[in-house]
Structure formats: structure tokens, C-alpha cells
């Protein structure tokens, strides 16, 4: 039986024994980086354990956050993690797909760490990989719904594989979303770019591009990574 020991952050903790999707660097990066320029309504698409929602609740103390999660085990886990948090009164979770999510409001910030295996990838079909499959939520569906739910001056932020950035940005453009910020993420200075943080809005802007290197050496983190995540990790 898996341990009930939670993953502890500075202001909240994450139990993850009931779900295949564990706390990972991708979610932490998005939760620490996504920006809320105005307003206070946030939507977290595919919340998993609830990590990103909890990080945003910590960062933006006036925010009201809705999270959706299609997987029932992950939904129950996130519900537990939300209820344990000191800011639980600002967090609401729905157990349904994005395609079935219908609400009469728009959001100031939408975030997602979306599925990123292509539908025709040859993978073992376990729970973790099912959660990452685009069979349940394609990039097209994600971006179309994001465009529909986003405030006119709102922002949408995602973390995806670098090699899928081109297709993702084309689909975003087809849905009136314009790229405003990019961060290219490398494990260390010698590795290739594996992930990219993307921010979109409806307004045309000069795109701000940066690179983030996570480690100088194994478990020796760069100053930029420490500065981004120090409000959350206990040992930063």
C-alpha cells in the first residue's frame, strides 16, 4: 500500500497516493510562472492533484479558482488537497471533461499542463499515460475552449513539449490567441530544450522570449530556477 506521506510545500501539502499523476517539475514551473494581470478568476484545466491551483491560490490571495479534472481518482485526491489548504474557500473543483464544462462566466487566467502524447503514439496504456493522452483532450479542443472561456484582456498559460510548440501556436492563432511570452526550459546547459512555457492573450504584443536552465549539476539548481520556485519548495 502506498504511503500516505504528502509532498510538502511551504504553504500547502499534496497527497498523491490515489492518482497516477504525481507532483512534477512541469506543474511547479507553470504554477510559479503563470501571470494574472487583472481580475481574480482562474481556471485550471486538468488539475490532477490540484498542485497548480494551490500554487496560484498562494500567489494571488484575492483569486477565485475553478479546477476541472476528468479522472475520478485524481478528482478525489485534488478535493482532499484543496480541503486541507488554508485557502480552501477560494478553490472549487468539478469532476468532468473540459468538453462538458459549461459555465456562464469568463476567466482572467486559464492554465493547463495538458496531455502531450500524440494519439497514435505506441505506449503502454496505464493510468499515467492515459492521463497524458490527447485521446481525452486534443490541443485543438483545449485551445478552442480556452478561447471561449477567456476574458477579452485575460491570459492563458500552458507548459508543453518543445517539439509541439509549432503546432500548438498555429492552433492558438486559428482561435484568435496571440503569443505574448515564451520560456524555453532545459534541464541543464548541455541538454536540449524539452519543455516550453507559453502565454497567450487576444492582444497583439511583442513576444518576450527567455531561457530557463534548471540545474547547474545534479540537484544543484540555477539562481533563476531557485528564484522562480523558492516561495514553494521547502528546501529552496
Residue at 184 is within a domain: yes
Instruction: Say if 208 falls within a structural domain.
Output: yes
Could you tell me how many residues make up the chain? 236
Beta strands per DSSP E along 81-163: 91-94, 107-112, 150-161
User: pTM value?
Assistant: 0.91
The reply to whether 89 falls in a domain is yes
pLDDT band at 9 (very low <50, low <70, confident <90, very high): very high
**Residue 96, φ and ψ in degrees, nearest 5:** -165, 170
The per-residue pLDDT for range 192-213, each reduced to its tens digit, is: 999 999 999 999 999 999 999 9
Within 8 A by CB and 6+ apart from 148, the residues are none
Integer CA distances (angstroms), 151 to 13, 75, 104, 124, 147, in order: 31, 26, 12, 39, 8
173-199 pLDDT, tens digit each = 999 999 999 999 999 999 999 999 999
What is the reported pLDDT for 219?
85
In a domain, 129, yes or no: yes
User: Three-class SS of residue 132?
Assistant: helix
- What is the domain range of residue 91? 7-230
236 in any annotated domain: no
User: Are the C-beta atoms of 71 and 131 separated by less than 8 Å?
Assistant: yes
Q: C-alpha grid cell for residue 5?
A: 506521506
Instruction: Tell me, yes or no, whether 55 lies in a domain.
Output: yes
Q: Assign residue 73 the CATH number of its domain.
A: 3.40.50.150
Digit-coded pLDDT (tens) for 26-84: 999 999 999 999 999 999 999 999 999 999 999 999 999 999 999 999 999 999 999 99
Domain contains 187: yes
Mean per-residue pLDDT, 138-143: 94
pLDDT at 116 over 80: no
Q: Is residue 235 part of a domain?
A: no
Q: Where are the beta strands (DSSP E) in the chain?
A: 7-8, 13-14, 41-45, 64-68, 91-94, 107-112, 150-161, 178-186, 195-201, 208-213, 215-217, 220-221
Residue 142 near residue 114 (C-beta atoms within 8 A): yes
Query: Is residue 82 within 8 Å of 53, Cβ to Cβ?
Result: yes
The total number of structural domains in the chain stands at: 1
Amino acid at each position: 500500500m502506498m504511503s500516505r506521506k504528502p509532498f510538502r510545500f511551504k504553504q500547502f501539502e499534496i497527497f498523491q497516493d490515489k492518482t497516477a499523476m504525481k507532483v512534477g517539475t512541469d506543474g511547479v514551473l507553470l504554477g510559479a510562472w503563470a501571470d494574472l494581470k487583472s481580475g481574480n478568476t482562474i481556471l485550471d484545466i486538468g488539475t490532477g492533484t490540484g498542485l497548480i491551483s494551490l500554487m496560484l491560490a498562494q500567489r494571488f490571495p484575492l483569486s477565485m479558482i475553478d479546477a476541472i479534472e476528468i479522472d475520478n481518482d485524481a478528482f478525489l485526491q485534488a478535493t482532499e488537497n484543496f480541503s486541507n489548504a488554508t485557502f480552501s474557500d477560494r478553490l472549487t473543483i468539478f469532476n468532468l471533461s473540459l468538453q462538458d464544462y459549461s459555465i456562464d462566466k469568463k476567466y482572467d487566467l486559464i492554465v493547463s499542463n495538458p496531455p502531450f502524447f500524440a494519439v497514435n503514439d505506441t505506449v503502454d496504456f496505464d493510468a499515467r499515460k492515459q492521463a497524458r493522452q490527447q485521446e481525452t483532450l486534443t490541443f485543438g479542443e483545449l485551445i478552442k475552449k480556452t478561447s471561449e472561456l477567456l476574458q477579452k484582456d485575460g491570459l492563458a498559460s500552458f507548459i508543453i513539449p518543445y517539439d509541439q510548440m509549432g503546432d500548438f501556436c498555429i492552433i492558438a492563432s486559428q482561435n484568435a490567441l496571440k503569443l505574448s511570452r515564451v520560456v524555453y526550459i532545459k534541464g541543464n546547459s548541455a541538454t536540449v530544450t524539452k519543455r516550453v512555457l507559453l502565454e497567450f492573450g487576444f492582444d497583439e504584443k511583442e513576444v518576450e522570449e527567455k531561457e530557463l536552465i534548471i540545474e547547474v549539476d545534479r540537484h544543484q539548481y540555477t539562481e533563476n530556477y531557485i528564484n522562480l520556485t523558492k516561495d514553494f519548495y521547502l528546501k529552496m
